[in-house]
A and B are shown apart, each in its own frame.
Chain A
C-alpha cells in the first residue's frame, strides 16, 4: 500500500485541466473517470467530458479512433470541463496529433514513448517522430516507456495473456498522474477489488501497475515537481459524481415516487440521448416501465397511451427524433395529457453532428408542430441540474396537464460533475388532476381555475368513461366540435394554460451586477462556460457592471424578464446556434435591442472568446 508523504515542494494550484487520450481500446474513459472520482472524493470540485469516436471499433492507432476524457478539477468552483489543457496524457501518436491544439506551449505532455514506433507514426500520419524532430519544443514533454514498464511490472504475475499485459498501461499513466497531483490511489485500488472480485490476478495486476506508475513518477527526475490542489469550498452534504443523462433519468425516478404515479418511458435509441433509456431500464425494481419502441413515433405514441392510462409518461430523443415525434406531440397538446419529451440536442440539421453539442432545436421545441400548438419548454443547464429539471418537467406536466419539452444537450448530458444528492424529503410535492369519482356535471374538459388544467380521468375508473382525440374539442363537453368560435376559444385556452405556468415558476435571478452596462444572457447547457467567463471578467478583471442571466424556463419566460432587461444598457444573448433564443426574446420584447453572440461548431464556448466579446461591449 502506498503511504502518501507530504510534498513540501508541491506547487499549490487553483485548478487544472487534464486530458487523457489514447486508442479506443486503451481505457481512457476509465482512467479519466477514476481520476475525477478520486479528486471529487478528495474534496475538489470537478467537471468532466468524454470524447469518443463515433465509429464503434475504429482501426487501432488511427486518427479517428482516438478516445479522450477531459477532467477539470479545482479548489475553486469549476463549472466547465475547461478549455486549455495543463496536462495532456497521450498513449499513442494519434492521440498526440489530434489533441495537441488544446495544449498551450509551456504546459506538460506525458506520452507513452513505446507507442511512437514506425507503424503508429504512419497511422497518425506523422512523417517524422514528433518526439525527435524538434516539433515539440516549447512543450514540457515527458517521455515514459509505459508499455515496457507495465510489462516489466507484471512479469511475475501468472495467468495474464499478452493482451492483458499491455492493456493495463492506462493504469501506469493514472498512477503517474495521481502522484503528480498529490492524489491517493486507494480509491482506484478499491475499485479494482470490486470490479474484479472473481479474478484476483487482475486485481493484483492492475494494482501493481498503478503503484508502479505512482512510484515511477516519484522516483524519476524527469518530473521536476508536483502540484497540489486543495479541496474546494462546497456546501456541506453527501455528494456523488453524476453524468447529465443519469441525472435526467434519476429526476424522473424521483418525480414518479413523489407523484405516486408509475413511470413509463417510450423511447428509441438515438445519440446522445440513449443513456437515459439505458439508465431507466435498470430500475425495474421501482416498477419503471421502459419500452424500447420500433421507432421514435411509437416511442412518443406509447407514452401518450401510458399517460392516458395514468402513468407519468416520458419519451427521450435527440433532434431528428423530435422531428419525427412532432405530430404525436401535437396530439398530446390537443388531448391535454401530461407528457415529458426530453431532447438531448446535438448538431443539426438532419443527421448533422450526432456526437457534438448544439442548441439549435429551440425553435423546433417551441414551434415544430402543425397548428397553434404551445408546449412548456424548459432547459437544464448543468449535468447535475438535469435532475432538477427532469423533476420539474414532470411536475409541470402533471400539474398543468400539458406536454413539456425538456432540452438538454450532448455537452451536459455526457459531462459529469458533483451532485449534492437530493433526498426525497427535500423535493417539492407534485400534485395531479386525477378525478376518481363521478360528480354532477362532470366533464373531462372541466378546468382548474388557476392553472386551466383539465380533469385527468383514467381508464378503470367507473362512470368517467370518455373519449378524447385529435379532432377539436367542444370546450365544455370535450366532444368533437367544428364550431368556429369554439376553435378560437380552445386555441386561446391552450395558449393561456401554458402562459399561466409563469405564475408557478421562479423569477429570473441575475448573477453579478443587477443593473449596469452589459447583461450576458444564456440558456440551457452553456451555463458553465458563460458563468465562468462572466465571473472571471467581473472578479478578476474588475468589470463590475456586467450581469449574467441564465434561463432555464423558455416557454413561458419568467415574469420579471422584461423588467430585468430594462436595467441594462446592452444585452448580449450567447447561444450555440444561429440565434434562436434571441429571436424569441425579440418577439416578446419588441422595444428592446438585443445583441447576439453565436457559435455553431459543435463545440462549447471557449472562455477566451467569451471574454474577448464581453470586453468589446462592456
Chain B
C-alpha cells in the first residue's frame, strides 16, 4: 500500500482516541500544531514515530495517528535514539516535559543533544509537575509556592535553552504556547533540520501554574515583551517595531530606534547558523525581552551519518561477509 504524501491533512495524523488533557491546556495547541506541521514536511505517515516519557505531555503519542510509544519517566530520548539508530529513515519525535527531561531524564537529555542524533524534541515547559498534581519542577522559580514547596521553592531553576546549548545543542527554538501558527512553522523547521532539534514550548498549566508566562505571552504584552528572532533579520521587536538589541561590551542591551542616534543599521542581525554559541546563550538568558523563535540552528554532522560512514568504510575493507567467515577465521584446529 503506497500512501501519497501530498494529500495529507492534519486529520491523517490524528486518531479516534479521546484527548484527555484539562480543558484550556496549551497541550491541545501543541498537538494540533504538530498535526498541522507534519503534512508540510513531506514525511510519510508510516515513517513517523512519537516517543514520550511520563507526565501530562507524554500522553501525546496516544493522540497521534502515527507509530508511537509512551515510555518511562525521563527515558524517551534514549528510547528514541534506539529507534532512530535502528532505522535512520524514520522521523522520530520526542515528547517530554520539564520534569521528565530536566529532572529524572536530565542525563539522557544532555547526551542526546551532545550526540546530535536526528530527533525532534518538543519540551513542554510549564514549570510545574502536573500529573503528580503540583510539585515544583527543575524550571520552577525560586520562591514559587507549590504543593512540595508551601513556603516557596528554594531550588534555583534550569533555563532549558542554556542547559541545552551548554550540552552542544545544534538546534534550539523557544515558542509561546498560544501562538499556533508560529509554533507550526517551528515544528516544520525542526523536522527539516538534520540533527537533534529542541523546541521549548512555554506551555501554560491551567490547573497548577496558571498564568506563569502571561507577562510574556499575553496578547496585549506579547509584542513588547517578546523578541521573535529570525535568521538573517535584525533583532527588532515592540508594538511599533522600534526596539532592538545591540551588543554593548559583553552584554545585550535594548535600544529604541530613533533615540540617541540609533538606526536600524545598529541593531544586531540574528545569525542562528553560526557554530559559536556565545550570542545564542546570551539570547536564551535574556529576560526582557524574552527571546522566542529559532535561536540556534547550526548544521552539523549527525551521529547516524558518522555511524553510516564508518560502517560503509569497514564493510568495504572487511573480509567477513557472513558470520561463518568470522567463526572459521584465525586460529582454528581440526580434531579427527
Contacts and interface: CB of A to CB of B under 8 A. Distances in A.
A associates with B = yes
Interface of A: 37, 40-41, 43, 231, 234-241, 250, 253-254, 257, 262, 264, 266, 283-287, 289, 291, 293-295, 297-298, 301-311, 313, 327-328, 331, 335, 420-424, 437-438, 458-471, 479-480
Nearest to A299: B78
Contact of A254 (B3, B50, B51, B323): B323
A304 B82 CA distance: 7
Contact of B3 (A286, A423, A462): A462
Contacts of B51: 305
Interface stretch (B57-65, B218-226, B289-297): B57-65
Nearest to A293: B78
Contacts of A286: 320, 323, 326
Contacts of A254: 323, 327
B260 interface: no
Interface stretch (B21-29, B41-49, B232-240, B277-285): B41-49
21 contacts: A238-B328, A253-B323, A254-B323, A264-B82, A297-B75, A298-B78, A298-B81, A298-B107, A301-B108, A305-B78, A305-B79, A308-B67, A327-B72, A459-B49, A461-B46, A462-B2, A463-B1, A465-B45, A467-B67, A468-B68, A470-B72
Contacts of B336: 236
Contact of A291 (B64, B81, B314): B81
Contacts of B83: 305-306, 308-309, 459
A284 B334 contact: no
A513 B40 CA distance: 72
Interface of B: 1-3, 17, 44-52, 54, 61-62, 64-72, 75, 78-87, 89-90, 107-108, 111, 307, 310-311, 314-315, 317-318, 320-324, 326-328, 330-336
Contacts of B323: 250, 253-254, 257, 286, 424
Contacts of B45: 462, 465
A293 B81 CA distance: 10
Secondary structure call for the A interface: mixed
Contacts of B108: 294, 297-298, 301
Secondary structure call for the B interface: mixed
Contact of A284 (B69, B72, B80, B311): B311
A309 B86 contact: yes
A291 B303 CA distance: 11
A388 to B, nearest CB: 13
A437 B2 CA distance: 11
A298 B80 CA distance: 10
Given A235-B335, A424-B323, A459 B70 contact: no
Contacts of B87: 309-310, 458-460
Contacts of A301: 71-72, 75, 78-79, 82, 108
Contact of A460 (B52, B75, B84, B89): B89
Given A253-B323, A467-B64, A303 B75 contact: no
B86 A467 contact: no
Max chain A C-beta neighbours (<10 A), residue from B81, B107, B310: B81
A327 B83 CA distance: 19
A446 to B, nearest CB: 17
A569 B207 CA distance: 68
B79 A241 contact: no
Contacts of A421: 327-328, 332
Nearest to B75: A301
A465 B67 contact: yes
A466 B307 contact: no
B332 A285 contact: no
Nearest to A304: B79
Contacts of B61: 467, 469
B335 A239 contact: yes
B9 to A, nearest CB: 16
A303 B71 contact: no
B47 to A, nearest CB: 6
Please give me the 6 A-B residue pairs with the lowest Cβ-Cβ distance, nearest first: A305-B82, A469-B70, A302-B82, A285-B318, A301-B78, A309-B86
Max chain A C-beta neighbours (<10 A), residue from B45, B69, B107: B69
A37 B331 CA distance: 9
A467 B315 contact: no
Max chain A C-beta neighbours (<10 A), residue from B62, B78, B80: B78
Contact of B68 (A240, A295, A464, A467): A467
A289 B107 contact: no
Nearest to A422: B327
Contacts of A310: 86-87
A266 B65 CA distance: 28
Nearest to A255: B323
Max chain B C-beta neighbours (<10 A), residue from A257, A301, A422: A301
A276 to B, nearest CB: 15
Contact of A297 (B3, B48, B78, B327): B78
A309 B107 contact: no
A287 B311 contact: yes
A14 to B, nearest CB: 18
A331 B71 CA distance: 7
A302 B326 contact: no
A308 B1 contact: no
Contacts of B70: 467-471
A463 to B, nearest CB: 5
A327 B105 CA distance: 14
Contacts of A438: 1
B85 A459 contact: no
